[in-house]
Amino acid sequence: MSAFRTSGPARFGQYLALLAYLVFLAFPFLWLISTAFKPAAELGSPHPSWIPRDPTLDNFRQAFDEQPLLRAAGNSLLAALAAALVAVLVATPMAYVLARHRSRLTAAATGWVVVSQAFPFVLLIIPLFLVLKNLRLIDSLAGLTAVYVVWSLPFALWMLTGYVRAVPVELEEAAAVDGAGRLRVLVSVTAPLLGPGIVATALFAFVTAWNEFFFALVLLKTPEKQTLPVVLTHFLGAEGVADLGPLAAAAFLATLPSLVVFAVIQRRITGGVMAGAVKS
Amino acid sequence: MRYGKLFTAAAAALTLLLAGCSGPDGRAPDDGVIRLRFQSLAWQQESVEANKELVREWNAAHPGIQVDYVQGSWDSVHDQLLTSFEGGEAPDLVHDASDDLADFAYGGYLADLRGLLSARLRADIPARSWETTTFGDGIYGVPFLQEPRVIMANRTLLRQAGVRVPTPEHPWSWAEFRQVARDLTAAMGKGRYAVAWPLKEPVSVSLNLGLSAGGRLFHREPGGRAVLRFEDGDAVVPGTVRAMVDTDRTASPATLGSGGSDTLPGFFGGKYAMVPLGFSYRQQIVRQAPKGFDWVVLPAPAGAGGLAQGVSPQTLSIAEDSPHKKEAARFLDFFLQPRNTVRLARGDWMLPTSTRALADPALHTPAYGWATGAAVARHLSPAPAPPVRGYPEWKDKVATPAFQEYYSGAIDTAELRRRLVDDGNRVLARYQRNMK
């Protein structure tokens, strides 16, 4: 039962405000879709409409003709999937230790994870570039993936720590009492319960890598290796001039995977961050 | 396990990644062929085609020196190049704009081209264009395409208002421009404006057009030190724009924060009769204008400085770290042959700096305002500020907010002058401490 009761009109007002907020949030995306299907002449219309008067697929055709979108999407997919996998593999055991073993060291580690989020990437990019160069990982998707893993690790760790805390330690203790060893407890008891959290974290890392632009721009030199966000900027000229139709069409397609992924994980992200916050 | 497939897919991706995409060691294959990496920022389809075609022609004719075309992006190009230069991984040939070169030139990242360029190329581009890429004693880029600011005008509305249509030979003065705007606004009716000034980037517009009124703002003292002075000529363009918005109500206040593209729908719909824009915006107008829309390209108004205005041309440079500077310079010489520069200019809807290219009849046709642009090109000068060290900070922290507040009516001319000059000179002084 809710601790807060609201009257009918207040509830109506809340929903109205929520609806207005949703429309506000959805506006850019809906406009993007509308633009993607408008012919060039309609893009400059002084009386813009939500529904294209003369819908066309020309922008999509032009986008695919001018830029290697499929190849770029393949590169993005490869880097994002690999980044998600490695981030989860690295973050899961770390999160377990941080959640289950409380000490000054784990407190310091958690603090460092939070602090590390504060560094702007422009501060990191040149040292990072030099490190990757020494490792001969410049201009390679493997190098880019390594950067994505490091970039998404703090938040992934934070999310997973919440999920681990949400798994009652009593279950592990019960399994141990029944004679299960440490590894058996982790594999048979903890891991299955962490499954949804791990997937949510992996999808978060995937979306972060899928959308990332600047590292990919700086680290990849060969055109064949460029990722989707970098290729999208090829529709942009100096001083913000853009080839609007094809850009909107390509951006619309590039947004779809992120949307799908977020539709899947949005509840679980909240669950992961909030898990363990309140004692049951 | 439910999530098994997902992880199998991710693991497969990782394996592929590590197996097939590991990084190269940065060296060319040892086949005796010199490989040059050319990062171009061309983005319009015709321009990209022209660039790629020229690279193909070069590669076919020079099997020993192969050029790899890499498409860069204007977005974040400065940060991308800076990181590449710092990391020693910059392209051999770099496409950029002259107002972005100062840091790279002074930082030692770009090769001094004086001993590398052919006499033909040096002679073909006017001295005033070379000035835009000269930093200290060296030349750090070849200025090859330039874009004046012109006025895109709705010919039907001009005709209906009965105003004189200017030509490069008989341009409007700034005072006449203001009067024409009054006449036009009166003829157009309520809710419509003669002019839409897209002033999202107010500094370059104010400074570059300011040259026509004799403004410079940046002055060199003996010894090379740059100082800011706000003189009568500097006040003409900002004062005219402010008066059109505030006093005359002939310019829309709504577009002061807009980019050029944002004003086009209102231009097509007859809400604005004239929009001052870069020359290359013609391409967007051609693509987006409604059928039958009658438009014309007019020269920007002239003042004490005639039709002069500042430009920051697009440039091609050679990285200092490139092991093949001579070969890169040979490619530049081919790439910027007059006939090739014409192809590049037409692809980008811009004007070449090359004197011989500019004489090409293809750039003197009245269609789409090419002839007006070609006539204006003779009056273009280097933008007054970019070679000055500290200019980017002055522009971002002092001038942009000051001009924005001035145009919106929040501060007056005295305050604008104080901020641009007093605050500005403090910024420049920090960068010029070691100069006498």
pLDDT tier for residue B224 given thresholds of 50, 70 and 90:
confident
Q: CA–CA distance from B270 to each of B159, B245, B369 (Å)?
A: 13, 18, 20
Q: Which of B23, B44, B266 sits opposite A137 (nearest CB)?
A: B23
Q: List CB contacts (< 8 A) between A134 and chain B.
A: none
Helices then strands, each counted (H, E), chain B = 20, 16
What CATH number is associated with residue B98? 3.40.190.10
pLDDT tier for residue B346 given thresholds of 50, 70 and 90:
very high
Q: What is the DSSP letter of B38?
A: E
Cβ–Cβ below 8 Å for B269 and A142: no
Q: List CB contacts (< 8 A) between B89 and chain A.
A: 129, 133, 138-139, 221
Domain contains B364: no
- pTM as predicted: 0.83
Angle between helices B174-188 and B232-246 (to 10 degrees): 10
Rounded to whole angstroms, the Cα distance separating B300 from B287 reads 23
* Sign of the dihedral through C-alpha A99, A104, A106, A108: positive
Q: For position B150, what pLDDT does the model report?
A: 97
Domain contains B360: no
Question: Which residue has better confidence, B89 or B31?
Answer: B89
Q: List CB contacts (< 8 A) between B52 and chain A.
A: none
Closest residue of chain B to A130, computed from CA coordinates: B87
Q: Which of A145, A223, A239 sits opposite B259 (nearest CB)?
A: A239
Domain contains B363: no
Q: List CB contacts (< 8 A) between A125 and chain B.
A: 79, 83
Q: What is the DSSP letter of B117?
A: S
**Nearest CA-CA partner of B144 in B412, B377, B404:** B377
Domain contains B111: yes
For chain A, 280 residues long, the average pLDDT of each consecutive 10-residue run is 68 91 90 92 81 92 93 95 94 89 81 79 83 91 93 89 88 88 87 86 91 91 91 84 90 89 69 51
Mutate to test the interface with A, among B37, B38, B75 (most CBs of A within 10 A): B75
Across the A:B interface, residue pairs with CB atoms under 8 Å apart total 167
Closest residue of chain B to A238, computed from CA coordinates: B74
**Nearest CA-CA partner of B271 in B387, B188, B155:** B188
Mutate to test the interface with B, among A141, A190, A201 (most CBs of B within 10 A): A141
Token pair, residue A242, equals 């853009």
| pLDDT (average), residues B397-421 | 95
**Nearest CA-CA partner of A175 in A167, A186, A165:** A186
Judge whether B276 and B150 are in contact, CB under 8 Å. yes
Asked which of B352, B377, B410 is the last residue of a domain, the reply is B352
B260 shares its domain with B277: yes
| pLDDT (average), residues B34-41 | 95
Task: State the residue range of the domain holding B241.
Answer: 149-310+385-432
B103 shares its domain with B191: no
Token pair, residue A22, equals 């949703």
B159 shares its domain with B192: yes
B120 shares its domain with B180: no
The 10s digit of each residue's pLDDT in B135-183 is 888 999 999 999 999 999 999 999 999 999 999 999 999 999 999 999 9
Instruction: Looking at the complex, report in whole angstroms how far the Cα of residue A225 sits from the nearest Cα belonging to chain B.
Output: 9
Domain contains B5: no
Domain contains B376: no
Rounded to whole angstroms, the Cα distance separating B16 from B107 reads 40
Q: List CB contacts (< 8 A) between B11 and chain A.
A: 85
B198 shares its domain with B154: yes
Judge whether A216 and A227 are in contact, CB under 8 Å. yes
pLDDT of B1 above 50: no
Q: How many domains does chain B have?
A: 2
Q: What is the DSSP letter of B368?
A: G
**Nearest CA-CA partner of B331 in B119, B89, B55:** B55
Instruction: Looking at the complex, report in whole angstroms how far the Cα of residue B5 sits from the nearest Cα belonging to chain A.
Output: 11
Under 8 Å CB-to-CB from B61, ≥6 apart: which residues? none
Q: Which of B3, B271, B288 sits opposite A41 (nearest CB)?
A: B288
Q: Which of A214, A230, A236 sits opposite B74 (nearest CB)?
A: A236
Q: For position A47, what pLDDT does the model report?
A: 80
Judge whether B207 and B217 are in contact, CB under 8 Å. yes
Instruction: Looking at the complex, report in whole angstroms how far the Cα of residue B200 sits from the nearest Cα belonging to chain A.
Output: 9
pLDDT of B22 above 50: no
SS3 content of chain A, % helix, strand, coil (to 5): 80, 0, 20
Q: What are the residue boundaries of the structural domains of chain A, listed by start?
A: 10-55, 71-270
B225 shares its domain with B269: yes
pLDDT tier for residue B29 given thresholds of 50, 70 and 90:
low
Domain contains B222: yes
We find that the CATH architecture of domain A71-270 is Orthogonal Bundle (1.10)
Q: List CB contacts (< 8 A) between A81 and chain B.
A: 9-10, 13-14
Under 8 Å CB-to-CB from B301, ≥6 apart: which residues? B166, B171, B172, B173, B174, B176, B177, B212
Dihedral angle, C-alpha B62, B67, B68, B73, nearest 10 °: -140
Averaged confidence pLDDT in chain B: 90
B258 shares its domain with B297: yes
pLDDT tier for residue B350 given thresholds of 50, 70 and 90:
very high
The 10s digit of each residue's pLDDT in B272-323 is 999 999 999 999 999 889 989 999 999 999 998 899 999 999 999 999 999 9
Instruction: Identify the three-state secondary structure at position A243.
Output: coil
Q: For position B391, what pLDDT does the model report?
A: 85
Cβ–Cβ below 8 Å for A133 and B87: yes
Q: List CB contacts (< 8 A) between A129 and chain B.
A: 83-84, 86-87, 89
Rounded to whole angstroms, the Cα distance separating B308 from B194 reads 23
Mutate to test the interface with A, among B5, B6, B17, B27 (most CBs of A within 10 A): B17
B329 shares its domain with B301: no
Closest residue of chain A to B14, computed from CA coordinates: A82
Q: For position A200, what pLDDT does the model report?
A: 87
Cβ–Cβ below 8 Å for B18 and A142: yes
| pLDDT (average), residues B187-211 | 94
Cβ–Cβ below 8 Å for A240 and B259: yes
Cβ–Cβ below 8 Å for A218 and B80: yes
pLDDT tier for residue B20 given thresholds of 50, 70 and 90:
very low
B294 shares its domain with B395: yes
Cβ–Cβ below 8 Å for B261 and A125: no
* Sign of the dihedral through C-alpha B49, B50, B51, B57: positive
Rounded to whole angstroms, the Cα distance separating B39 from B81 reads 10
Residue B93 pairs with which residues in a beta bridge? Answer: B38, B318
